[in-house]
Amino acid sequence: MTALNTNKILLTREDLPRLGLNLSPSTLLRLEAAGQFPKRLRIGAHSVAWLASEINEHIAKLAEERGEA
């Protein structure tokens, strides 16, 4: 069995709250612009997504900063 490659998994805006990231669209844009959240990928004219691996790294970094790694 091979390990799941999370570089190919995309998370949409609807997936983020399930991971505990309940952020408004404007907050996401502001955090991305400040380099405090992974950059989005445009997957359609009106659709965006994020790489699951980058979101998981972001969550792990937040936990590490709290001393919960």
What confidence tens digit (pLDDT) does each residue in 10-52 have? Answer: 999 999 999 999 999 999 999 999 999 999 999 999 999 999 9
pLDDT in tens, 3-14: 556 568 999 999
* Domain region containing 49: 6-65
pLDDT value of position 52: 96
Based on the structure, what is the number of domains in the chain? 1
pTM of the model: 0.82
Residue 1 belongs to some domain of the structure: no
Please count the other Cβ atoms lying within 10 Å of the Cβ belonging to residue 38: 19
Residue 7 has what pLDDT?
64
Cβ(14)–Cβ(21) below 8 Å: no
DSSP code at position 48? E
pLDDT score recorded for residue 67:
84
47 domain residue, yes or no: yes
d(CA 58, CA 32): 12
